[in-house]
Amino acid sequence: MTAESSETVTADEARPFSAGRILRLSTFQIGSAMGDILTAGVWNRIMISDFGIPAWPIGLLLASRYFMSPISLWVGHRSDTIPLWSWYRTSYIWLGRGLMVLSFPLLGTSTVMLEGNITDLIAWVILILSFLLYGLGTLLSGSPYLALVRDSAPPAKQGIAIGMVETALITLFPIVAIGFSRMLTTYDPALFWRLILFVMVVGGFFWVFSVAGAEKENRHWSIARKVGEKVELGKTFQMIWADGRTRSFFLFLFVATFSAWMQDNVLEPYGAEVFGWKVEQTTRLTGYWGTATVVVLIASFVIWRKRRPEEQSGVTKVGLTIMSLGMVLLFASAFSLNTSIFLTGLVIFGAGFGLYTFGGLSLMAVMSPDPHSGAYLGLWTVAILVSKGLGTFIGGVVRDVLLAAGAQAWVAYGAIFVLSAVGLLAAAGILSRLDVVSFARDTGRQEIEKLPLASVEM
């Protein structure tokens, strides 16, 4: 590394943290929340509960993007080293989100076709194409977006920056869910199409607005780009994976995410089939645990904002334990048919999820050092997406298999909640054996964070 490049990196590391810059980047999540609620919430409920389609093919479609997740490692590495249309991050982000916008009309077309005939082969082909475009779009844009957010903050604040944009996403989930439940109280093709067009216009706007000019403002780029190094993806991955702590963190993320999202594909059908709730009521279920998550996340930022990100393992483990308790209460509500216990369990699960998210994102920032931050974030994205996809799919499979075997609905859903609780405790055990502090020390992060930082810009 040349002296000039070293001086540039040092100056960039000491740049002030701009809350305004991160808040603007956070508006990106408006479109993200809309897309996820439209597919995993509204469309999922329509297909399973209104059309009577089994949960497993719907879960498989929803999980399809997760099985393509190795793309995120590739695109993360490229956004570290190879520009696309003169930009390292922005072009990949807009290309991916453009594909997502194109997927929505296909989703609407196929859904209306399946309303009349759930075995319509052409409709299923269109539906599969829609989810392939949607999944590819999220993968092409996900890692570069997180890398852009990370680039926008000095090392000591990178966990806070990533936490802010993820908090925005979690905050928007219940808001969007409630809004969509009012726009579509019961399934109607015309209203469903109106909802799709709304997502395309509003979501597309914020996907452009949030990142426009952000990369031009940033000078906090990876060392590899500054000195013009071009490292092959295979060698980069080999270097990253050789560290046992990296493998342990990957396993931790995998088990925690798998366990937390087993309920994702069955929560709305559970409310419909066990408690007899309507679309408007089941769509709001995300709001219960999502609101609790946001409240705890904000409180966590206030309480632990000055703690070093590599010291957040304890908070993360407490969050996982509380999430497990919430799953136990969901199981209790299944066999007791008690809606109060069910809603209480959702809130407790959400509170634990808030602690887990705050601590986990801080640890993720530590475990994504320069000069390969995009590649590291791509690897963590692979762990999260594959495990989330498998968890979503397996949750649906457990439900379908038990119901087909003659089990009562509460048994089928209760089994999912028990498996989730056990997995969350296992993830806490894995994290207990991971030394994040030594990783931060060995990658030079603690020395970097000793540099004086300017005050926060508003």
20-55: pLDDT as tens digits: 788 888 899 999 999 989 998 888 888 887 888 887
Alpha helices in 367-408 (DSSP H): 373-404
The yes-or-no verdict on residue 85 having pLDDT over 60 is yes
Amino acid at 412: A
CA–CA distance from 453 to each of 6, 149, 364 (Å)? 18, 18, 21
Report pLDDT for 3. Answer: 37
- Is-contact 332 338, C-beta < 8 A? yes
What mean pLDDT comes out for the span 269-275? 80
- Is-contact 258 390, C-beta < 8 A? yes
Render pLDDT for 204-244 as a digit per residue (tens, 0 to 9).
999 999 888 777 655 444 444 444 445 566 777 778 888 88
- Is-contact 77 372, C-beta < 8 A? yes
Higher-confidence position of 431 and 312: 431
Render pLDDT for 371-430 as a digit per residue (tens, 0 to 9).
677 778 878 888 888 888 788 888 888 888 888 887 788 888 888 999 999 999 999 999
Q: CA-CA distance, 454 to 291, in Å (whole number)?
A: 33
Contacts of 235 (CB under 8 A, 6+ apart): none
Domain boundaries, the chain: 3-222+233-448
SS3 72: helix
Residues in the chain: 458
Report the 10 Å Cβ neighbour count for 349.
Answer: 29
Q: CA-CA distance, 288 to 276, in Å (whole number)?
A: 18
Q: CA-CA distance, 320 to 49, in Å (whole number)?
A: 31
Q: Taking the alpha carbons of 28, 34, 104, 396 in that order, is the dihedral positive or negative? A: positive
What proportion of the chain, given as a percentage, has pLDDT over 70? 87
The yes-or-no verdict on residue 2 having pLDDT over 80 is no
Q: Tell me which H or E stretch contains 278.
A: none
- Is-contact 29 237, C-beta < 8 A? no
**DSSP assignment string, 85-105:** TTBSSHHHHHHHHHHHHHHHH
What mean pLDDT comes out for the span 356-376? 80
Report pLDDT for 70. Answer: 79
- Is-contact 310 336, C-beta < 8 A? no
Q: Tell me which H or E stretch contains 42.
A: none
Report pLDDT for 444. Answer: 62
Overall fold of domain 3-222+233-448: Growth Hormone; Chain: A; (1.20.1250)
Q: Tell me which H or E stretch contains 290.
A: helix 285-304
What phi and psi values does residue 263 have, to the nearest 5 degrees?
-80, -10
- Is-contact 288 353, C-beta < 8 A? no
Higher-confidence position of 230 and 124: 124
Render pLDDT for 139-183 as a digit per residue (tens, 0 to 9).
888 888 888 887 777 766 777 788 788 888 878 887 888 888 888
User: What does the mean pLDDT of the chain come to?
Assistant: 80
Give the confidence band of 125 by pLDDT, cuts at 50, 70, 90.
Answer: very high
